[in-house]
Amino acid sequence: MECLAAFSSTSIYTPPASSFSRSRRSFSFACRIKPRSEAMRSSEVSQADPTKPKEAKLWGGRFEESVTDAVERFTESISFDKELYKHDIMGSRAHASMLAQQGLMSTSDKDSILRGLDEIERRIENGEFNWRTDREDVHMNIEAALTDMIGEPAKKLHTARSRNDQVLTDFRLWCRDAIDKIVTYIKRLQVSLLTLALKNDGLIVPGYTHLQRAQPVLLSHLLLAYVEELDRDSGRLLDCRARMNYCPLGACALAGTGLPIDRFMTSKALGFTAPLRNSIDAVSDRDFVLEFLSANAITAVHLSRLGEEWVLWASEEFGFITPSDSVSTGSSIMPQKKNPDPMELVRGKSARVIGDLVTLLTLCKGLPHAYNRDLQEDKEPAFDSVKTVVGMLEVSAEFALNISFNQEKIQKALPAGHLDATTLADYLVKKGVPFRTAHDIVGRSVALCVPRNCELRNLSLDELRSISDVFDEDVYEFLGVENSIEKFSSYGSTGSACVADQLDYWVAKLELK
């Protein structure tokens, strides 16, 4: 699965062309970039050299002692929050530009900072950046590296900004991109299911309630039920995105600042709708990610139900579908086995996504306002939720495109269960019989069939009239699954004309050519 750190993100601030007039080589001297003998992969995190004195923390002015190694290991978050690097750099670009606009730093300092951030981003993406646990988190790693590169101007970047509002800005930007990614994968699965529905248009399958055969339905109608559910999943995510798209930057630790910043400028530069109105709320609440993980959990439950249905249908007992070898696995001991493992794992991994939501709900339930260090623990459940949901969506779409429906076996299954019984009751209602009376008449008709192991359409007219004299020759136009399907006509039903309209709607909406 592709790394979530590779989410595409548009750079918000683009310095003037003159800023880039110098070559990379001359730029390294201008920014006083210190060469390193060994470049670490960006996926690695290094420990501080125990033989050297510990680097002073950027927040350590009032402290006389360094934290112990155990505390440093326990409190670091760089091992996972480096995922936010791109969004942290985006926020810093916008913040530096705003500070310069407001006269809180010079244009030359801003330009040095922007060039330095460009170089840091390049190093990270090329695997040349040294992530250090003694620098705690993604923010301090980038800020300390920037200070190493360009010196004093870098120290102005944290003006009117706390790590509290900084991390929330990064996290909202990350979640926003993650939602866009998930919505794209949802659409891919919808297209796969729609393609499968069109390919099998007209195929009738048993519809189930209580896992008992109930009424005949068109397979395309059943598949479109999942398309509808996924559409609501997408809508929930987009609604969540709209609510989360407000900017915390400038709220600082919790009370705001007395410096003349322009929060609307940074908000606009980062693509937010507006700044958050209340600085305490801005750094305290995590409802945006709770809502996000809740939407993911609902999506995962829908995918789990799809997985369960296809696992059942692939079994010998059902035999309705055959997955291709490319989406199946075998057994280490039973050579005859062919298992639909991907959909079993889709079913299983829903537990992780639900667990991620429960973890975050539990984390937030007892916290006072405003920021508490507990909230450092909000990232990993979110990262895992997104990674897992994307994987579930991706493999479900792959599976859908690599299965075939066993029409012969499905056809043999249709006579069992008297699936046309409700349609027969509708026939009687059309003749003026009250529905409860019609229900009883059809029930007694089914009772005639059970000992003879036959279908309703195999009963003679005399046998039917022995139960009710309302029955006439036209009753046979309502019996049998094919006739039954054609009688469904209510909006949204499984009738052929209704399903054709549904297919047309989704072909247009999903732009399927």
Active site residue 304: no
Cβ-contact 39, 127 below 8 angstroms: yes
CA distances (Å), origin 127, targets 39, 47, 207: 8, 17, 53
Look at residues 342, 350, 343, 347 and name the one whose alpha carbon lies nearest to residue 384.
350
Give the span between the Cα atoms of 90 and 77, in whole angstroms.
20
Give the span between the Cα atoms of 146 and 157, in whole angstroms.
10
Which helix (H) or strand (E) covers residue 45, if one does? strand 45-46
CA-derived radius of gyration, the chain: 31
Give the span between the Cα atoms of 155 and 299, in whole angstroms.
44
Phi, psi angle pair for 350, to nearest 5°: -60, -30
Catalytic residue among 11, 79, 331, 404: 331
Active site residue 267: no
Beta bridge partners of 323: 403
Look at residues 356, 7, 389 and name the one whose alpha carbon lies nearest to residue 185.
389
Cβ-contact 448, 467 below 8 angstroms: yes
Residue 160: is the preceding peptide bond cis (ω within 30°)? no
Catalytic residue among 8, 23, 37, 210: 210
Give the catalytic positions in this structure. Answer: 210, 331
